[in-house]
Amino acid sequence: EDQVTQSPEALRLQEGESSSLNCSYTVSGLRGLFWYRQDPGKGPEFLFTLYSAGEEKEKERLKATLTKKESFLHITAPKPEDSATYLCAVFRGGADGLTFGKGTHLIIQP
């Protein structure tokens, strides 16, 4: 059974304090790993897709990396507007859709 575990469950940082969120997974035949951002009361918003170990993608203050067992979402010099829940999901193709982790609730304090 595919499993996706995100840690920490919650993280509180000061503005400008860089950190990383972790997504560890056990899935056979990973076809893609997705990161989404979700603001309160809204639907998940797509951030990145990573397809193979060693791949990295960046967008503004966010950088996602992938190994064979886990993915990291690095947040550099975060701002209060980066506060959100960050969701990780894995896809191994076919009828199973995305398997989501429970998310990391990130709060950036001014």
Partner 1 sequence: NAGVTQTPKFQVLKTGQSMTLQCAQDMNHNSMYWYRQDPGMGLRLIYYSASEGTTDKGEVPNGYNVSRLNKREFSLRLESAAPSQTSVYFCASSYSLTVADTQYFGPGTRLTVL
Q: Does 110 participate in binding partner 1 (rule CB under 8 A)?
A: no
49 binds partner 1 (CB under 8 A): yes
When asked if residue 34 is in the footprint of partner 1 (CB under 8 A), the reply is yes
| Cβ at position 23, least distance to partner 1 in Å | 12
Q: Which is nearer to partner 1, 4 or 108 (CB)?
A: 4
Confirm or reject binding of residue 106 to partner 1 (CB under 8 A): no
Query: CB-wise, 64 or 89, nearer to partner 1?
Result: 89
Nearer to partner 1, 13 or 32 (CB): 32
Name residues contacting partner 1, limited to 60-99 (CB under 8 A): 87, 89, 91, 93-98
**What per-residue string of b and e applies to 6-43 under the rule 16 or more CB within 10 Å gives b?**
beeeebebeeeeeeebebbbebeebeebbbbbeeeeee
Q: Which stretch binds partner 1 (CB under 8 A): 16-24, 41-49, 53-61, 70-78?
A: 41-49
Which of 72, 61, 73, 83 is closest to 13 using CA atoms?
83
